[in-house]
Amino acid sequence: MLVSSLFWLDDRRWWPYVPVFATVVGPAERRLGTGRWLLVGSAAHLIGTYVGQGHLRLRIRTGRAPSRLVNARDVGVSYFVLGVAGALSGYLPPAWRAQTQLVVAGALAANAVARPTATEVGHLTAFTVGLAASTTAPDREGKPYPPDEWPSAARRS
Protein backbone atom coordinates (compact mmCIF):
# COMPACT_ATOMS: atom_id res chain seq x y z
CA MET A 1 0.00 0.00 0.00
CA LEU A 2 2.76 2.45 0.93
CA VAL A 3 4.62 1.85 -2.33
CA SER A 4 1.52 2.02 -4.52
CA SER A 5 0.38 5.26 -2.85
CA LEU A 6 3.45 6.94 -4.29
CA PHE A 7 1.94 6.62 -7.76
CA TRP A 8 -1.60 7.80 -7.03
CA LEU A 9 -2.76 11.25 -8.05
CA ASP A 10 -5.32 13.40 -6.25
CA ASP A 11 -7.34 13.70 -9.42
CA ARG A 12 -7.68 11.90 -12.73
CA ARG A 13 -5.74 14.67 -14.43
CA TRP A 14 -2.00 14.10 -14.74
CA TRP A 15 -1.02 17.15 -16.82
CA PRO A 16 -0.77 19.62 -13.89
CA TYR A 17 2.15 17.52 -12.64
CA VAL A 18 4.19 17.94 -15.84
CA PRO A 19 5.74 21.32 -14.89
CA VAL A 20 6.66 19.98 -11.45
CA PHE A 21 8.35 16.94 -12.92
CA ALA A 22 10.13 19.03 -15.56
CA THR A 23 11.41 21.67 -13.13
CA VAL A 24 12.00 19.66 -9.94
CA VAL A 25 11.95 15.88 -10.28
CA GLY A 26 13.90 15.62 -13.56
CA PRO A 27 16.64 18.11 -12.64
CA ALA A 28 16.98 16.50 -9.20
CA GLU A 29 17.54 13.06 -10.74
CA ARG A 30 20.07 14.49 -13.17
CA ARG A 31 22.09 16.11 -10.40
CA LEU A 32 21.72 13.51 -7.65
CA GLY A 33 21.98 10.45 -9.87
CA THR A 34 19.20 7.90 -10.13
CA GLY A 35 20.15 5.86 -7.05
CA ARG A 36 20.50 8.79 -4.68
CA TRP A 37 17.41 10.48 -6.17
CA LEU A 38 15.36 7.32 -5.60
CA LEU A 39 16.74 6.92 -2.07
CA VAL A 40 16.01 10.54 -1.10
CA GLY A 41 12.54 10.56 -2.67
CA SER A 42 11.60 7.18 -1.21
CA ALA A 43 12.90 8.13 2.24
CA ALA A 44 10.96 11.40 2.10
CA HIS A 45 7.80 9.53 1.06
CA LEU A 46 8.20 6.86 3.73
CA ILE A 47 9.16 9.17 6.59
CA GLY A 48 6.66 11.86 5.58
CA THR A 49 3.86 9.29 5.45
CA TYR A 50 4.69 7.76 8.84
CA VAL A 51 5.16 11.11 10.59
CA GLY A 52 1.98 12.52 9.05
CA GLN A 53 -0.06 9.45 9.93
CA GLY A 54 1.42 9.39 13.43
CA HIS A 55 0.38 13.01 13.82
CA LEU A 56 -3.14 12.16 12.66
CA ARG A 57 -3.33 9.22 15.06
CA LEU A 58 -2.28 11.45 17.96
CA ARG A 59 -4.90 14.06 17.01
CA ILE A 60 -7.60 11.38 16.88
CA ARG A 61 -6.57 9.97 20.28
CA THR A 62 -6.66 13.43 21.87
CA GLY A 63 -10.00 14.32 20.28
CA ARG A 64 -8.63 17.05 18.03
CA ALA A 65 -9.56 15.13 14.86
CA PRO A 66 -12.70 13.12 14.14
CA SER A 67 -12.46 9.37 14.68
CA ARG A 68 -13.84 8.77 11.16
CA LEU A 69 -10.33 9.66 9.90
CA VAL A 70 -8.83 6.55 11.50
CA ASN A 71 -8.71 4.83 8.09
CA ALA A 72 -7.80 7.94 6.08
CA ARG A 73 -5.24 7.38 3.36
CA ASP A 74 -2.58 9.90 2.59
CA VAL A 75 -1.62 9.31 -1.02
CA GLY A 76 0.21 10.98 -3.83
CA VAL A 77 3.58 12.01 -5.09
CA SER A 78 3.93 15.20 -3.06
CA TYR A 79 6.20 13.77 -0.35
CA PHE A 80 8.57 12.34 -2.96
CA VAL A 81 8.56 15.63 -4.88
CA LEU A 82 9.14 17.76 -1.77
CA GLY A 83 11.94 15.45 -0.65
CA VAL A 84 13.81 15.71 -3.93
CA ALA A 85 13.06 19.46 -4.03
CA GLY A 86 14.78 19.80 -0.67
CA ALA A 87 17.78 17.91 -1.99
CA LEU A 88 17.75 19.93 -5.23
CA SER A 89 17.87 23.13 -3.17
CA GLY A 90 21.45 22.23 -2.34
CA TYR A 91 22.32 23.09 -5.93
CA LEU A 92 21.05 26.67 -5.72
CA PRO A 93 23.72 29.38 -5.93
CA PRO A 94 25.39 29.72 -2.51
CA ALA A 95 24.18 33.31 -2.15
CA TRP A 96 20.54 32.16 -2.41
CA ARG A 97 20.71 28.66 -0.96
CA ALA A 98 20.20 29.15 2.78
CA GLN A 99 17.62 31.91 2.38
CA THR A 100 15.55 29.90 -0.09
CA GLN A 101 15.69 26.78 2.07
CA LEU A 102 14.64 28.79 5.11
CA VAL A 103 11.76 30.48 3.30
CA VAL A 104 10.39 27.19 1.92
CA ALA A 105 10.78 25.37 5.24
CA GLY A 106 9.20 28.34 7.04
CA ALA A 107 6.25 28.40 4.64
CA LEU A 108 5.69 24.66 5.06
CA ALA A 109 5.97 24.99 8.86
CA ALA A 110 3.51 27.90 8.91
CA ASN A 111 1.13 25.85 6.78
CA ALA A 112 1.45 22.89 9.16
CA VAL A 113 0.67 25.15 12.12
CA ALA A 114 -2.27 26.84 10.37
CA ARG A 115 -3.67 23.55 9.03
CA PRO A 116 -2.29 20.75 11.23
CA THR A 117 -3.36 17.89 8.98
CA ALA A 118 -1.41 14.71 8.29
CA THR A 119 -0.68 15.96 4.79
CA GLU A 120 0.76 19.31 5.86
CA VAL A 121 2.89 17.72 8.58
CA GLY A 122 4.02 15.13 6.02
CA HIS A 123 4.95 17.88 3.54
CA LEU A 124 7.14 19.63 6.08
CA THR A 125 8.74 16.33 7.12
CA ALA A 126 9.44 15.27 3.53
CA PHE A 127 11.07 18.60 2.68
CA THR A 128 13.19 18.36 5.83
CA VAL A 129 14.38 14.89 4.77
CA GLY A 130 15.41 16.40 1.43
CA LEU A 131 17.19 19.28 3.16
CA ALA A 132 19.20 16.81 5.21
CA ALA A 133 20.18 15.03 2.00
CA SER A 134 21.12 18.31 0.28
CA THR A 135 24.24 18.60 2.40
CA THR A 136 25.58 15.39 0.88
CA ALA A 137 24.56 16.17 -2.71
CA PRO A 138 27.41 15.46 -5.14
CA ASP A 139 29.12 18.26 -7.10
CA ARG A 140 26.84 21.03 -5.81
CA GLU A 141 28.99 23.80 -7.28
CA GLY A 142 29.59 22.02 -10.61
CA LYS A 143 25.91 21.39 -11.44
CA PRO A 144 24.08 24.57 -10.38
CA TYR A 145 20.32 24.87 -10.39
CA PRO A 146 19.00 26.65 -12.28
CA PRO A 147 21.70 25.84 -14.83
CA ASP A 148 24.04 28.55 -16.02
CA GLU A 149 22.55 28.46 -19.51
CA TRP A 150 19.15 29.59 -18.24
CA PRO A 151 18.84 33.33 -18.92
CA SER A 152 17.23 34.22 -15.62
CA ALA A 153 17.48 36.90 -12.99
CA ALA A 154 17.46 34.03 -10.47
CA ARG A 155 21.02 33.16 -11.49
CA ARG A 156 22.39 36.53 -10.37
CA SER A 157 24.27 36.22 -7.13
Q: Please give the C-alpha separations between residue 76 and each of 93, 134, 145, 150, in angstroms, as whole numbers.
A: 30, 23, 25, 30
The pLDDT value recorded for residue 152 is 54
The band of 125, judged by pLDDT with boundaries at 50, 70 and 90, is: very high
Residue 93: is its pLDDT beyond 60?
yes
Distance CA 56, CA 121 (A): 9
- List all residues 6 or more positions away from 53 whose beta carbon is below 8 Å from its beta carbon: 74, 118, 122
Residue 61: is its pLDDT beyond 70?
yes
